[in-house]
Amino acid sequence: MEQKRKICTYRELLAISAGEDKEPLVDVRRYDPTIIARYEKKDMLLYTGERIFVRDTVARKLARANKALRKHGKFRLKIVYGYRHPDVQKKYFEKKRAELRKLHPSLSDEELDILTHNFIAIPLVAGHPTGGAIDVTIVDAEGNELDMGTQIADFRNSEKIKTFAKGLTNKQKKNRLLLHDILVREEFAPFYGEWWHFSYGDREWACFYGKKKSIYSPIKFSVKENKKGHRYTG
């Protein structure tokens, strides 16, 4: 099957209108508790505790994908990140931007933003703050992650983390393609710069599928502040 391997640029993402869908955030395991959901980063504990949240449609699609995955063996999806609070995204972006400013002092602000976006998405167009993006892999019956060639978010080799990177073993290629195909069948958009990142409903998804508008836009959400009107369903 011919793969569409385009990686959308910041300008392409910016050209897409942001949707204002009011769909709630839910626990990523709401429709299939056999999905493993475990943060590897601790930056969201202040906002969500140990639970990982995504939009309701995303949780439904992941449940179907997890069911389809079992046809290939005793495999399950393992989600290590979903919704990210916009304040956390901003913090990551500004930190990386400051590091790059020291290395490239002659760049204009716009040029520096675009360069930083290659490492950490500009908050305005980032997928995780919408609740539509996930970082995901596959585990076997014993809970061991399948060999994907790198760990999730291992940025030491920026070429090897690309989905169709050169130098992968046949087993690693097969495992990455399994993850890719299972999720694409559920209309997730792959981000080919990172084999583990997929999204539905955000600007990355809209760009990948040639849509002019995303479904979701960034949302400020905290379990502790839920009583103040934040959209969450248990």
Please, where are the H alpha helices in the chain? Answer: 10-14, 45-48, 56-69, 86-103, 109-117, 170-184, 203-208
The pTM of the full predicted model, rounded to 2 decimals, is 0.92
Contact 38, 78 (CB under 8 A): yes
Of the candidates 208, 218, 221, 230, which has an alpha carbon nearest to the alpha carbon of residue 13? 208
pLDDT digits (tens, 9 = 90+) for 74-128: 999 999 999 999 999 999 999 999 999 999 999 999 999 999 998 899 999 999 9
Question: May I ask the CATH class of domain 11-224?
Answer: alpha beta
pLDDT digits (tens, 9 = 90+) for 27-80: 999 999 999 999 999 999 999 999 999 999 999 999 999 999 999 989 999 999
**How many C-beta neighbours within 10 Å does residue 75 have?**
19
Q: What is the DSSP string of 118-143?
A: TTS--TTT-SGGGT-EEEEEEE-TTS
